[in-house]
């Protein structure tokens, strides 16, 4: 039931057609008995600043959930960043405080690791290749290191972003081997696509699937389609696959708790 007291949580995206978060988020609110509801808002990047400025004036706004391509830009519009958001300079959730100020958080990574563990895969002690250095990938990199991966290679189309992220993380996690490098999956225990590749028909694969080790686990952040071309190719090669949807399934509780 939506009442006059319902707190609103827009999901800011562009485009918005691919989003899958509202259903599990709203189900979690129902489960917890919270009068809070999420709906997607398709916001063009050139309208983002004005949209966020207007939303912060809305009294019944609990906060906003942020996805592609807005995570970095919204972080810059927050009054403060907490946890992983302050380390990676991107946020996937914003809480509106009573005074209208905005606090940004980042739970993509925690959700990703919780999803792996929920399905019986422990990343501690593993060697990981992460393709991507955007909002979701940055959160995943941080959480994998926090979970104890011993080696992390970050490969990204814009190599400068991979180098920047790797050097930031190397300062925070001096015990791990962290480097920017090539998207060659051979020799890794865990290969993660942290890019948007796979969302659209005709996208290139983020890695050469012929170079995947048969025993490795191949994980996605992309949720739509459910089985991306990378996961299909990895499964055909005998790898264990882990879908993008598992990351949000375990994350919604963290997002709802942040706004309570
Ligand atoms: N499962 C979940 O819970 C969850 C949570 C968050 C996000 N996601 C998904 O994660 C994906 C990325 O989202 P994001 O928020 O991280 O976006 P973002 O911050 O805009 O980052 C996009 C990343 O994808 C790379 N990329 C985009 N197009 C590419 C191409 N044609 N070739 C090579 N690399 C390309 C970018 O490389 P450059 O740096 O070179 O541009 C960057 O690394 C989206 O599919 C989103 O839906 C899933």
DSSP state of 69: T
Pocket of ligand 1 contains residue 24 by CB under 6 Å: no
Do 77 and 180 share a structural domain?
no
Euclidean distance between CA atoms 70 and 74, whole angstroms: 6
User: What is the end-to-end Cα distance of the chain in Å, rounded?
Assistant: 18
**Test site for ligand 1: of 24, 195, 245, 248, most ligand atoms within 8 A of the Cβ:** 195
For residue 205, the domain's CATH number is 3.40.50.720
Token digits of residue 15: 């485009």
Task: Indicate which residues carry an active-site annotation.
Answer: 71
Per-residue pLDDT of the chain (260 residues; tens, 9 = 90+): 899 999 999 999 999 998 989 999 999 999 999 999 999 999 999 999 999 999 999 999 999 999 989 999 999 999 999 998 988 888 999 999 999 999 999 999 999 999 999 999 999 999 999 999 988 898 999 999 999 999 999 999 999 999 999 999 999 999 999 999 999 999 999 999 999 999 999 999 999 999 999 999 999 999 999 999 999 999 999 999 999 999 989 999 999 999 99
Write down which residue in 55, 79, 106 finishes a domain: 106
Q: How far apart are the CA of 68 and the centre of ligand 1, in A?
A: 7
Domain residues for the domain of 51 are 7-106
Vertex 81: Cα angle to 77 and 84 (nearest 5):
125
Residue 232 CA to residue 100 CA, distance in Å, equals: 45
Partners of residue 179 on adjacent β-strands = 153
**Which tens digits make up the pLDDT trace of 227-253?**
999 999 999 999 999 999 999 899 999
Domain boundary among 79, 106, 133: 106
Closest CA to 92 of 50, 143, 131, 154: 143
Do 226 and 126 lie in one domain? The reply is yes
How many angstroms does the Cα of residue 66 sit away from the middle of ligand 1? Answer: 13
Which has the closest alpha carbon to 252: 83, 84, 82, 29? 29
- 131 and 216 co-located in one domain: yes
One domain for residues 16 and 75: yes
CA 136 to ligand 1 centroid distance, Å: 7
- Which pair of structure tokens corresponds to residue 41? 């808002």
Contact 22, 11 (CB under 8 A): yes
The last residue of a domain, from among 62, 83, 106: 106
DSSP string, 229-259: HHHHHHHHTT-EEE-THHHHHHHHHHHHHHH
The verdict on the CB of residue 167 being under 6 Å from ligand 1 is no
Measured by CA distance, the residue closest to atom 11 of ligand 1 is 196
**Residues 136 and 215 reside in one and the same domain:** yes
Ligand 1 pocket test, pick from 110, 136, 182 with the greatest ligand atom count within 8 Å of Cβ, gives: 136
| Ligand 1 proximity of 69 Cβ (cutoff 6 Å) | yes
Considering the domain architecture, whether residues 161 and 56 belong to the same structural domain is answered as no
187: left (phi over 0), alpha (psi -120 to 50) or beta: left
Q: Which residues contact 202 (CB under 8 A, 6 or more apart)?
A: none
pTM of structure: 0.88
Give the HSE-up count for residue 144: Cα atoms under 13 Å, Cβ half-sphere: 34
Please give the distance, rounded to the nearest whole angstrom, from the Cα atom of residue 133 to the centre of ligand 1.
Answer: 8
Whether 228 lines ligand 1, by a CB cut-off of 6 Å, is: no
């Amino acid at each position: 039931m939506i009442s006059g007291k319902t707190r609103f949580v827009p999901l800011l995206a562009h485009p918005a057609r691919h989003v899958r978060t509202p259903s599990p988020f709203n189900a979690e609110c129902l489960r917890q008995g919270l009068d809070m509801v999420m709906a997607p808002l398709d916001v063009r990047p050139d309208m983002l600043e004005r949209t966020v400025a207007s939303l912060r004036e809305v009294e019944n706004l609990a906060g906003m959930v942020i996805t592609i391509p807005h995570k970095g830009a919204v972080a810059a519009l927050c009054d403060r960043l907490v946890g992983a958001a302050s380390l990676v300079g991107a946020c996937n959730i914003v809480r509106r405080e009573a005074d209208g100020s905005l606090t940004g958080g980042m739970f993509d990574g925690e959700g990703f690791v919780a999803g792996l563990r929920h399905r019986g895969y422990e990343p501690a002690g593993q060697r990981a290749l992460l393709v991507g250095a955007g909002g979701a990938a940055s959160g995943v990199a941080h959480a994998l290191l926090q979970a104890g991966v011993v080696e992390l290679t970050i490969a990204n189309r814009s190599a400068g972003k991979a180098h920047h992220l790797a050097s930031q993380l190397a300062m925070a996690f001096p015990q791990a081997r962290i480097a920017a490098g090539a998207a060659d999956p051979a020799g890794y225990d865990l290969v993660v696509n942290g890019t948007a590749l796979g969302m659209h028909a005709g996208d290139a694969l983020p890695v050469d699937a012929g170079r995947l080790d048969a025993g490795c686990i191949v994980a996605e952040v992309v949720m739509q389609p459910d089985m991306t071309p990378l996961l299909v190719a990895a499964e055909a090669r005998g790898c264990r696959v882990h879908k993008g949807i598992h990351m949000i399934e375990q994350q919604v509780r963290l997002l709802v708790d942040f706004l309570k």
